[in-house]
């Protein structure tokens, strides 16, 4: 009997030892699994935090105007700033150094913050006169005196298109149409922005040879005034002359160069007559050739006398 009791005790100890080993094995497996999971998380986080690799390009430093530069500006008077520019995007011919062009002048407007080109500059003496560069072959430039009234408060500045009028005591005539102003008070900069423009004392006009002669002939006869045109207005004047007699109510005389397409006489106390010329009814004292008013002998007589 004592021997059998000892055998049970031995088996019990072996069983407890086996359970302990199994528990240790499970704990070890759990610890290893946790360590592997943490390591994987660290690797994923590290891969996410890696900096993105961006392709680098060769850059060159290029001088560019800090602000808009008008035509006729000396290069030495231009305020430049140097900016890095991708070499593969730099346009062909763009200047990377302007030292040899310090005494040059611009012969074209230069936008701000963009590279400049040799073709935009000139070292020739003629280029120092921006007006000369703007005179096409066969055209002329002439200067006349103006004031606030004739210069349309200064809005008729460089780049504007005007019609030139001769104002006399008894009539006003159009002597030149669609004339471009090259400069105002020795400035070729156009009127811009919302600021009030300066009123020039002189302006230089781009004119044809005939217009040059007409304007100079008109100057001693009266006062020169401008009528400012819209940028897209290409229409001609319907009538190029207006007299003081017309202001006093006298009937308008037909322009022989206008095409008359209709005629009408009103049967009222005044008995006014109108001719349809170029799509407009114009007052007239005469019956146009080819028209007559039935039963109106006086009108026929006036028409015959006028012819």
| CB-based contact 146:215 (threshold 8 Å) | no
Residue with tokens 């590279």: 115
Whole-model pTM?
0.45
User: Is the pLDDT score of 122 beyond 70?
Assistant: yes
- Stretch 208-216: mean pLDDT: 95
Mean pLDDT of all residues in 118-128: 73
- Least confident among 5-9, 63-67, 168-172, 214-218: 5-9
**Chain segment 51-65, per-residue pLDDT in tens:** 655 556 788 999 999
Q: Which secondary structure element, helix H or strand E, spans residue 173, and what is its range?
A: strand 171-184
The answer to whether 59 and 87 have CB atoms below 8 angstroms apart is yes
Is residue 281 within 8 Å of 275, Cβ to Cβ? yes
Question: 110 - beta bridge partners?
Answer: 69
Residue 261 has pLDDT above 90, yes or no: no
Calculate Rg over the CA atoms of the chain: 46
Instruction: Tokens for 177, please give them.
Output: 């149409």
| pLDDT tens track for 5-27 | 556 666 666 666 777 777 777 77
Mean pLDDT over 72-98 rounds to: 90
Q: Are 201 and 151 in contact (CB under 8 A)?
A: no
187 falls in which pLDDT band (50, 70, 90)? confident
Burial of 164 (0-12, 13-18, 19+ CB in 10 A): buried
The answer to whether residue 126 scores a pLDDT higher than 50 is no
Tokens 């004119």 correspond to 207
**Separation CA 26–CA 45 (nearest Å):** 29
Residue 23 tokens read as 């528990």
Other C-beta atoms within 10 Å of 71: how many?
Answer: 19
Tokens standing for residue 110 = 């230069």
pLDDT at site 5: 53
Q: Is pLDDT above 80 for 264? A: no
Q: How many CB atoms lie within 10 A of CB 123?
A: 13
Residue 114 CA to its chain's centroid (Å):
17
At 291-300, the pLDDT tens digits run: 666 655 554 4
Give Cα 35 to chain centroid, integer Å: 69
Instruction: List the structure tokens of 33.
Output: 């699994």
Whole-number average pLDDT of the chain: 78
Q: Taking Cα atoms as reference points, which of 155, 243, 174, 182 lies closest to residue 215? A: 174
């Amino acid at each position: 009997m004592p021997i059998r009791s000892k055998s049970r005790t031995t088996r019990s100890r072996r069983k407890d030892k086996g359970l302990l080993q199994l528990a240790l094995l499970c704990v070890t497996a759990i610890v290893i699994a946790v360590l592997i999971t943490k390591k994987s998380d660290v690797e994923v986080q590290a891969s996410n935090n890696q900096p993105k690799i961006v392709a680098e390009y060769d850059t060159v430093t290029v001088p560019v105007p800090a602000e808009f530069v008008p035509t006729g500006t000396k290069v030495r008077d231009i305020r430049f700033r140097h900016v890095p520019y991708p070499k593969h995007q730099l346009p062909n011919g763009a200047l990377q150094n302007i030292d040899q062009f310090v005494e040059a002048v611009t012969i074209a407007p230069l936008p701000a913050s963009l590279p400049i080109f040799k073709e935009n500059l000139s070292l020739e003496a003629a280029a120092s006169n921006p007006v000369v560069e703007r005179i096409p072959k066969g055209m002329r430039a002439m200067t006349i005196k103006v004031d606030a009234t004739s210069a349309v408060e200064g809005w008729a500045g460089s780049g504007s298109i005007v019609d030139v009028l001769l104002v006399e005591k008894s009539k006003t005539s159009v002597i030149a149409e669609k004339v471009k102003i090259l400069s105002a008070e020795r400035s070729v900069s156009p009127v811009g922005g919302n600021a009030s423009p300066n009123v020039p004392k002189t302006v230089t006009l781009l004119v044809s040879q005939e217009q040059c002669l007409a304007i100079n002939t008109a100057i001693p006869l009266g006062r020169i005034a401008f009528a400012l045109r819209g940028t897209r207005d290409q229409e001609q004047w319907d009538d190029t002359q207006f007299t003081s007699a017309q202001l006093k109510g006298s009937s308008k005389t037909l322009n022989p160069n206008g095409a008359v397409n209709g005629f009408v006489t009103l049967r009222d106390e005044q008995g006014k007559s109108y001719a349809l010329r170029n799509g407009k009814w114009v007052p007239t004292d005469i019956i146009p050739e080819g028209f007559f008013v039935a039963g109106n002998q006086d009108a026929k007589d006036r028409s015959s006398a006028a012819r």
